[in-house]
């Protein structure tokens, strides 16, 4: 073998060793979270980075460390997080969430992992008014609250039936079921019946709509989800969406809505905001780049 070839081989070996060393170093580093400079301990469920490059933390962290009040609705699989007059509502598996009465979209979702419920740290923290900074050199998330609050010991509630209380049974809380298709009863809002989660992946947001709201708030927010492990059942979701709309909306209007919705075939496709109307309802459809399809139902 010539000197030049030997040099190339040696250089390749050196590069491989350097890469392996870097991988080993990264693997040995664990994700850390700091609140107002103090490290947060996660004794039984570690935070991690999901496939959307978002840090997910067990929901009990929100209650015990940030001092927020956390609630749970079995039928809808909703986590409610309240702090200083701000209320967040997240639903496992859904990217749509609410801050008070505003509906917003994340690029990831709350989820279940290892029998624990995890929520996206940045969206929850910033929704509650905290600042979040990523320290890539130390693989650390730094959270700063306006009040400079430190981690609590989780004993702020005396009622053992409430998340965050001293003797609360988190395992039972997280194992409870909901009104998933085939596992529970449908919800009903203004004559529309629906599950909170369909087997196809369709995810109607649980509605808090009241008749007195008139046309000032959405009746339903229905999400066609993308990025499901094992592949997306887009046609199944479309059929489930169509079934919900046809309960109350004029048939020709539903036909137009579904024709537009079905134009999104891949995550990268975009659907510009578009309105469809019949004599009673306004249907708004929109999907941003690399995001879900959001269909809103309003009174006209």
Residue extents of the structural domains in the chain: 32-175, 187-299
pLDDT at residue 236, as a whole number: 95
Question: pTM score > 0.85 for this model?
Answer: no
135-190 pLDDT, tens digit each: 777 778 888 886 543 443 333 334 555 554 555 555 555 555 556 787 678 889 99
pLDDT at residue 230, as a whole number: 56
Contacts of 21 (CB under 8 A, 6+ apart): none
Greatest pairwise CA separation for the chain in angstroms = 85
Lowest mean pLDDT of 14-28, 78-92, 146-160, 212-226, name the range: 14-28
How confident is the prediction for the chain on average, in pLDDT? 78
**What's the rounded Cα separation, in Å, for the pair 194 and 86?**
28
Distances (CA, A) of 61 to 18, 164, 269, 286: 37, 9, 36, 33
Main-chain dihedrals φ then ψ at residue 217, nearest 5 degrees: -140, 160
pLDDT at residue 139, as a whole number: 79
pLDDT at residue 6, as a whole number: 42
Under 8 Å between Cβ of 278 and 253: yes
pLDDT at residue 231, as a whole number: 67
Lowest mean pLDDT of 2-16, 50-64, 93-107, 280-294, name the range: 2-16
**What's the rounded Cα separation, in Å, for the pair 151 and 297?**
41
Which of the two residues, 165 and 40, has the higher pLDDT score?
A: 40
CATH 3.30.457.10 applies to domain 32-175: yes
pLDDT exceeds cutoff 50 at 7: no
The alpha carbons of the chain give a radius of gyration, in whole angstroms, of 23
Distances (CA, A) of 97 to 70, 108, 112: 15, 11, 16
Scanning the structure block, which residue is given the tokens 């046609």?
A: 235
pLDDT at residue 235, as a whole number: 95
Mean pLDDT of 204-220: 84
Mean pLDDT of 105-117: 82
Residues forming a β-bridge with 278: none
Contacts of 83 (CB under 8 A, 6+ apart): 66, 67, 68, 69, 128, 129
Mean pLDDT of 243-256: 98
């Amino acid at each position: 073998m010539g000197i030049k070839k030997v040099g190339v081989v040696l250089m390749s070996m050196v590069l491989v060793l350097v890469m392996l060393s870097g991988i080993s170093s990264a693997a040995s580093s664990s994700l850390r979270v700091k609140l107002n400079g103090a490290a947060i301990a996660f004794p039984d469920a570690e935070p991690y980075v999901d496939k959307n490059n978002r840090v997910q933390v067990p929901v009990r962290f929100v209650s015990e460390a940030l001092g927020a009040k956390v609630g749970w609705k079995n039928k809808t699989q909703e986590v409610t997080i309240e702090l200083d007059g701000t209320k967040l509502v997240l639903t496992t598996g859904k990217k749509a969430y609410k801050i008070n009465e505003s509906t917003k979209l994340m690029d990831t979702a709350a989820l279940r992992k290892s029998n624990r419920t995890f929520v996206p740290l940045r969206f929850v923290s910033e929704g509650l008014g905290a600042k979040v900074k990523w320290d890539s050199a130390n693989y650390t998330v730094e959270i700063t609250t306006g009040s400079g609050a430190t981690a609590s010991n989780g004993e702020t509630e005396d009622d053992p039936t409430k998340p965050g209380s001293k003797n609360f049974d988190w395992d039972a809380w997280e194992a409870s079921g909901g009104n998933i298709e085939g596992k529970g009863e449908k919800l009903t809002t203004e004559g529309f019946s629906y599950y909170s989660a369909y087997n196809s992946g369709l995810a109607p947001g649980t509605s808090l709509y009241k008749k007195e709201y008139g046309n000032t708030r959405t009746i339903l927010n229905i999400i066609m989800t993308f990025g499901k492990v094992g592949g997306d059942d887009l046609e199944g979701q479309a059929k489930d969406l169509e079934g919900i709309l046809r309960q109350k909306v004029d048939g020709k209007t539903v036909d137009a809505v579904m024709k537009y919705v079905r134009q999104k075939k891949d995550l990268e496709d975009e659907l510009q905001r578009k309105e469809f109307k019949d004599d009673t309802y306004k249907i708004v459809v929109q999907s941003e780049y690399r995001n879900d399809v959001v269909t809103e139902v309003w009174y006209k």
